[in-house]
Amino acid sequence: EAGVTQFPSHSVIEKGQTVTLRCDPISGHDNLYWYRRVMGKEIKFLLHFVKESKQDESGMPNNRFLAERTGGTYSTLKVQPAELEDSGVYFCASSQDYRGRLGYTFGSGTRLTVV
């Protein structure tokens, strides 16, 4: 089966610009997660979709971040306007199991650099 696909793999933007990251989960996986790793630190949870609904968005840093999952398939994460501290690697993951017992399948990540 195809894995979790993220694009772009890298993005370099200027402070104040807008960037949209995309994640295509494994087909049939209702659960989709976004995480972020800032340089050298832990991987932090951003939010969790079950189909098209936001199950938990407690990790979203502020209202400059907007995640959507229209139709319950792919998801986008928009950062507008981007700030320097938004730089990091953004990971998407999907799972069949909403209880988190099976583990996730992660994408390769999008490395975002804000200059």
Partner 1 sequence: AQSVAQPEDQVNVAEGNPLTVKCTYSVSGNPYLFWYVQYPNRGLQFLLKYITGDNLVKGSYGFEAEFNKSQTSFHLKKPSALVSDSALYFCAVRDPTSGTYKYIFGTGTRLKVLA
Binding footprint of partner 1 on the chain (CB under 8 A)? 3-4, 6, 31, 33, 35, 40-45, 48, 55-56, 58-59, 91, 93, 98-101, 103-109
How much of the chain is in helix, strand and coil states, percent to nearest 5? 5, 50, 45
Q: Which is nearer to partner 1, 10 or 15 (CB)?
A: 10
Angle at 12 between CA 7 and CA 13, to 5 degrees: 110
* Contact (CB, 8 A) for 22 and 107: no
Residue 15 vs 98, nearer CB to partner 1: 98
Residue 81 beta carbon to partner 1: minimum distance, rounded to whole angstroms: 26
The values of phi and psi at residue 84, to 5°, are -60, -35
Q: How far is the CB of 35 from partner 1 (least distance, A)?
A: 8
C-beta of 14 vs 103, nearer to partner 1: 103
State in angstroms the smallest separation of the CB of 14 from partner 1.
25
The answer to whether 45 and 67 are in contact (CB under 8 A) is no
